[in-house]
Amino acid sequence: MKTMRRGASDVGLLIGRIALATVFVQAGWSKLMSWPGIVHLLIHLHAPYPTLGGGIAIGSELVGGAMVVLGLRARLGALVLIVFTIGANWLTHRFWLMHGATAFAAEIQFLLDLSICGGLLILASVGPGRVSVDRG
């Protein structure tokens, strides 16, 4: 098996970081632009402290996502996004409490979020690569 040159893997890490973080940055921006909507959703989900929770969601997604994209303390940013995703997943995709098509859709989303956490965990383990603010 041929080994990959270091530069090529760094470009792969950069592309992977951008791909992983895009969903978080977009979602955080969307929540920020429709602030009452996230608070209303959290109230509907019976989340404690919905205003604070909305702020945490926006901050986690925007700041954690930016950290990952830029490679600025990307390991920490990835861990922040993992914790956020696990919490959000637990709150919003409780497929085990649902039935029928709703349960199926929630289970798929739960598993997709779990796979994103897997990618973030890999990033937290190997680091951002040399094409980053922190350079490795």
Q: What is the pTM of this model?
A: 0.90
Task: For residue 83, give every residue at least 6 positions away whose Cβ sits within 8 Å of its Cβ, in sequence order, or none.
Answer: 60
pLDDT in tens, 103-119: 999 999 999 999 999 99
CA atoms within 13 A on the CB side of 108: 5
User: So what's the pLDDT on residue 95?
Assistant: 95
Exposure string (b/e) for 25-60, b if CB count within 10 Å is 16 or more?
Answer: bebbeebbeeeeebbebbeeeebeebeebbbebbeb
Q: What pLDDT tens digit does each residue of the chain (136 aa) get?
A: 444 456 669 999 999 999 999 999 999 999 999 999 999 999 999 999 999 999 999 999 999 999 999 999 999 999 999 999 999 999 999 999 999 999 999 999 999 999 999 999 999 999 999 999 987 5
Rounded to an integer, what distance in angstroms lies between the CA atom of residue 54 and that of residue 59?
9
